[in-house]
Amino acid sequence: MVEIQTITVQLGDREYLIQQAGFLRAKPWKKRLLEEMKPLFGEISEAQNIEFNTPADLVKLMPLAEKLFIEALDLIFELLITYSPVLEEERVYIEQYATDAQIFAAFQEVVKLADFFGLTVQLSRQLGRVKIGT
């Protein structure tokens, strides 16, 4: 028998017990995860090819930095919140009190919980190579 898994994450000063989502909730969530995160990983890979010969070359990283530190974190937040009804109910609190690092760590745990095949875990590992948060 396969039991429904749960994880505990801390967001702000509160801990949340997140239960593995059922098929009807998980399927569109995973599809959104793959569709919206894949382009970001492509941009990260492309950035590795940027050559830095002068300090002015750092300007080439600004669009990627904006995507990683603002847009990607917004997407990660939305994906995290929409995975669990418990988190959806606490959205306002989480937005106000959770740190970037907590959101990112919770997201990584949710990705592991959501994908028993391990397909999206590889995406999480790739994103984990990029430091986001404080």
Look up residue 45 and give its amino acid. Answer: S
Is 9 within 8 Å of 76 (Cβ atoms)?
Answer: no
Asked whether residue 119 carries a pLDDT value surpassing 70, the answer given is no
How is the chain split into domains, by residue range? 6-128
- Provide the percentage of residues in the chain whose pLDDT is more than 70: 63
Bridge partners of residue 10, in order along the sequence: 15
Q: Which residues contact 18 (CB under 8 A, 6 or more apart)?
A: 6, 7, 8, 9, 83, 84, 86, 87, 109, 110, 113
Q: Is the per-residue pLDDT at 68 higher than 80?
A: no
- As separate numbers, helices (DSSP H) first and strands (DSSP E) second, the chain gives 7, 2
Residue 133 has pLDDT above 50, yes or no: no
